[in-house]
Amino acid sequence: MDSSNTAYLLIAGIYYIITGIIIFFSIFGVYILIRYGQTRLVSLTVSLLYGFFFLILLAQSFSTLQNLK
């Protein structure tokens, strides 16, 4: 990480804050879905699919952040 570029540090800081908030709400949402869903099997399947797509999007956004250098 280039610590001399303040714009990059600002963008990276905002990225990590927003990512942390989204991760918190995602974990909370998956917990609510599994805990209070109508059927556990459907809730678990939806949660696993959501987690898979969320991790793909998170990896893509992180690689985009790394390409900003």
- Please tell me the distance from the alpha carbon of residue 46 to that of residue 67, in angstroms, as a whole number: 32
Residue 2 predicted with pLDDT over 80: no
* pTM of this prediction exceeds 0.85: no
Please tell me the predicted confidence (pLDDT) of residue 3: 63
User: Which tens digit of pLDDT belongs to each residue from 11-29?
Assistant: 999 999 999 999 999 999 8
Q: Is 22 exposed, middle or buried (0-12, 13-18, 19+ CB in 10 A)?
A: middle
User: Which tens digit of pLDDT belongs to each residue from 52-64?
Assistant: 999 999 999 999 9
Q: Phi and psi of 55, rounded to 5°?
A: -65, -35
More confident residue, 5 or 54: 54
